[in-house]
Amino acid sequence: MLNKNNKILVVGSVAYDSVETHAGKRVDALGGSASYFALSASYFARPTIVAVIGDDFEQSHIELMESRNIDLSGLQIEHGDTFRWAGKYDPNNLNYRETIDTQLNVFAEFKPILDEKHKSTDVFFLANIQPDLQMDVLNQAGEKPKIVAMDSMNLWIENNKEDLLQLIHKVDIVFLDETELRQLTGIKDLIEASKSIIGMGPRVVIIKKGEHGLLMNSIDTDNSFSLFACPALPVDPVIDPTGAGDSFAGGFMGYLTSVGKGITEISVQDLRKAAVYGTIMGSFTVQGFSIEQLKLVSIEQIEKRYNEFINLTTVS
Amino acid sequence: MLNKNNKILVVGSVAYDSVETHAGKRVDALGGSASYFALSASYFARPTIVAVIGDDFEQSHIELMESRNIDLSGLQIEHGDTFRWAGKYDPNNLNYRETIDTQLNVFAEFKPILDEKHKSTDVFFLANIQPDLQMDVLNQAGEKPKIVAMDSMNLWIENNKEDLLQLIHKVDIVFLDETELRQLTGIKDLIEASKSIIGMGPRVVIIKKGEHGLLMNSIDTDNSFSLFACPALPVDPVIDPTGAGDSFAGGFMGYLTSVGKGITEISVQDLRKAAVYGTIMGSFTVQGFSIEQLKLVSIEQIEKRYNEFINLTTVS
């Protein structure tokens, strides 16, 4: 049913993460928004990664991504070390984490470069990087892709708000967590806040709430709003929440890519199914460190969890 | 469709609350677990309140409850003041509140007394009061009612844990919030924690998560577990969250009472519909101070929100 040949381009980070949780630790494990996104999306579509890595990047990770049919033609290899992040989660509450170290390394000078094939990709995902780089990617594309989605974070809302707002006017789908959405709009009520984003141009706002799932607001072809509340799929035990949001976005956008429609043709049902597939991909990611579980998933397991999700949420 | 003549008995508190939120304040407004519960349940069934009030209790509040067809034959009037509670919510985050004052007054000496008619009620709700009083009510009933449900709080888990555990062994449905459930069981994972409660005898555990909705775990006739994730119905603006949990329980138990089955005959669908009706009653309560909105609801509004909830959560 899925058309896994449809293409989606993601620009973001590829990183090595050192992470400690109640369940243990990993040093220099594969991470970064583009890695999680592309691996997750690869179960639904053919992702292209536009990102930068250092010359320390391991060949085994290249091979892993290629084995998942990910197009690495936009992956720049620069002299120096790959982006590194280190963090530690509160052993009693995975909602809290401390960043111990960030080394941008080759990412500090990252300038996304799209070739002609990249530019003609139908679906773009601008993962959480500096807004002017996100805009640069969109400008390089020339004609607007059929669907453009973006993510961001508190750092850019604080320091690059004008750039971010300009970008939001040019995208179709916005992913933010509840705190970021309130911070960006200055509106406490999440639904009103999402409407104010939709008022700037996007058709869909996904409000991520971590372990509590998400709210999605979208505007339909008849200009009415459609609100969807989607709980998380409970998994036990959660090993490491790192990458859950990017894996969610990868499943969501991967599924939409497989549907093959332009943003104005997408139905409320398409969006809701995308949200469920995203939720499921996030649920796999948190069951292991780094991409350890995400890389092992099968289509059958995805469909099994999809049915479990429907059973979890259907009233009668 | 609802059988509003079926009876449900609630034992709990009737109080006067002084509450301050971002939206304003009220002094000595009607509150207490039994008040919220009974008013909420009154849209589905005929509640009987077993509680105590002081001789300062206002006649208008008696009349309000009688106008909702609530049986007050178990309401003891004692010499002295009615239970008073005063609290203030964080103006920026309604999840946090500070108790400013608690005056037990006549509630300090409360001894529930059930007459013969009370004892033969099919459905009991033991609202959040001292566990030995909850047990006393159950003992007075003699033969076990068709359905017994209970709520509790951190205070009793800390100070009266043995009494509470004894009680849990004798009830069918347990309402707790996520913190209380973890505290009581010592198990961090909510689903495992709910299973440990079910292992003690209850068939249904409702894990309340406030603005994030709830998880419900129940054991079916074939001994399999059925998990239901139910988001809250977003309302804007929220005026005062006081009583949301008791209103939820009132809608939940009121609906189950109207269905008229014994605990072992209740289906997963009955429980899920009950959870949605409970959610809806909670959503009305938070839209006003005290019982100001809850008392004004119509069956038509309840059914309208029920349909809104289904639309909010149905994937396709």
Beta carbons within 10 angstroms of residue A234's beta carbon: 16
Query: Which residue on chain B is closest to A238 by alpha carbon?
Result: B189
Q: Is CATH 3.40.50.300 the right assignment for the domain spanning B7-313?
A: no
pTM of the model: 0.94
What average pLDDT does this structure show over A303-315? Answer: 97
Q: What's the CA gap between B70 and B137, in Å, rounded?
A: 19
Domain limits of chain A?
A: 7-313
pLDDT of res. B2: 64
Task: Enumerate residues 66 to 95 of chain A having a beta carbon within 8 A of any beta carbon in chain B.
Answer: 92
Q: What's the CA gap between A116 and A120, in Å, rounded?
A: 7
User: Per-residue pLDDT for A246 more than 70?
Assistant: yes
pLDDT of res. B142: 87
ipTM for the complex?
Answer: 0.90
DSSP helix/strand/coil, A228: strand
pLDDT of res. B236: 84
Residue pair A53/A77 in contact by the 8 Å Cβ criterion:
yes
> Residue A316, class by beta-carbon neighbours within 10 Å (0-12 exposed, 13-18 middle, 19+ buried)?
exposed
* A210 Cβ under 8 Å from any chain B Cβ: no
pLDDT of res. A272: 98
Contact B316 A273 (CB under 8 A): yes
Chain A positions touching B309 (Cβ under 8 A) are: 315
The letter for the amino acid at B244 is A
Contact B229 A231 (CB under 8 A): yes
What average pLDDT does this structure show over A17-24? Answer: 96
Q: pLDDT band for position A153 (50/70/90)? A: very high
What average pLDDT does this structure show over A66-77? Answer: 97
Average pLDDT, chain B: 96
Q: What's the CA gap between B35 and B51, in Å, rounded?
A: 9
* Å between A229 CA and nearest CA of chain B: 6
The letter for the amino acid at B200 is M
User: Per-residue pLDDT for A1 more than 60?
Assistant: no
The conformation of residue B243, written as its DSSP 8-state character, comes to: T
pLDDT of res. A220: 87
Residue B261, CB-side half-sphere exposure with 13 Å CA sphere:
14
Over residues B145-197, the pLDDT tens digits come to 999 999 999 999 999 999 999 999 999 999 999 999 999 999 999 999 999 99
Peptide linkage before A237 cis (omega within 30 of 0): yes
pLDDT of res. B232: 93
Cβ-based neighbours of A89, under 8 Å, separated by 6 or more: A19, A20, A21, A22, A96, A97, A98, A240, A241
User: Per-residue pLDDT for B1 more than 90?
Assistant: no
CA B125 to each of CA B52, B72, B129, B139: distance values in angstroms, whole numbers, following the listed order: 16, 15, 11, 14
Helix-strand-coil split of chain A, %, nearest 5:
40, 30, 35
Residue B195 gets the label, from left (phi > 0), alpha (psi -120 to 50) or beta, of: alpha
pLDDT of res. A2: 64
Chain A positions touching B312 (Cβ under 8 A) are: 227-229
Contact B213 A236 (CB under 8 A): no
User: Per-residue pLDDT for B309 more than 90?
Assistant: yes
Size of interface A-B (CB pairs under 8 A): 72
Both tokens of A136, joined, read: 């640069």
Which is it for strands B173-177 and B204-208: parallel, antiparallel or unpaired? Answer: parallel
Over residues B63-106, the pLDDT tens digits come to 999 999 999 999 999 999 999 999 999 998 888 999 999 999 99
Over residues B212-256, the pLDDT tens digits come to 999 999 998 788 999 999 999 999 889 999 999 999 999 999 999
**Residue whose tokens read 């939720």:** A279
